[in-house]
Amino acid sequence: MFDSFASVREDIDSRLRGAVRDRRSPMHTAVVATADADARIMVLRGYDAAVPLLRFHTDVRSPKAAVIGTGGPVGVLFYDKAAKVQIRCMGTGRVEQAGETADAAWAASTRFARRCYLGEGPGAGLGRPGSGLPIEFEGCEPDEAQLLPARENFAVLLVEISRFDWFHLAHTGHRRAILEHGAGRWVAP
């Protein structure tokens, strides 16, 4: 089954492309970790297998945006419990607030999704339990004019992958492969 580096890479690419399209995919949400040992769950929004490049949406006011900046180390962990496949990605992240990629991601997002960027910045203190959104947008979908101020807080997190660590659990024998710099190697699980 997984007996070549090509089959491993095909599995990685297939799973990540599927995770972008299918919100029910177990790999649609991933654990993203930054150099300050902070980790959080994020939604995979795009995957370009040719680069390879992962795309997530983020708030420029978030601590991770400051840590990553225009070139910080990022680790991303995907796991499919039913398939018993784990994919660890290591690479360099960059946060882009402006430009074609960020503009296209903003335009493709729903108004409900864009609404999140109207509120207080991630980690901001609140005087009461709440979402941090202005009261008028709690449970409501803003119109395009109301969303204009939110665009300045929106950015994309792009992670250019330099290393895939693919791991398949199987009662017949686990398999693990490292793919990096155009080469692969089998390693003990």
For residue 141, tell me if it sits in a domain.
no
Question: In total, how many domains does the chain have?
Answer: 1
3-state secondary structure of 152: helix
| Domain harbouring 80, CATH code | 2.30.110.10
pTM of the model: 0.94
- Report the alpha-carbon distance of residue 138 to residue 188 in Å, rounded: 50
Q: Tell me the per-residue pLDDT of 133-175, one tens digit each, with 9 for 90 and over.
A: 998 998 889 999 999 999 999 999 999 999 999 999 998 889 9
Q: Range of 16's domain?
A: 5-109+156-186
Q: Tell me the per-residue pLDDT of 27-82, one tens digit each, with 9 for 90 and over.
A: 999 999 999 999 999 999 999 999 999 999 999 999 999 999 999 999 999 999 99
For residue 93, tell me if it sits in a domain.
yes
Structure letter (DSSP) for residue 120: P
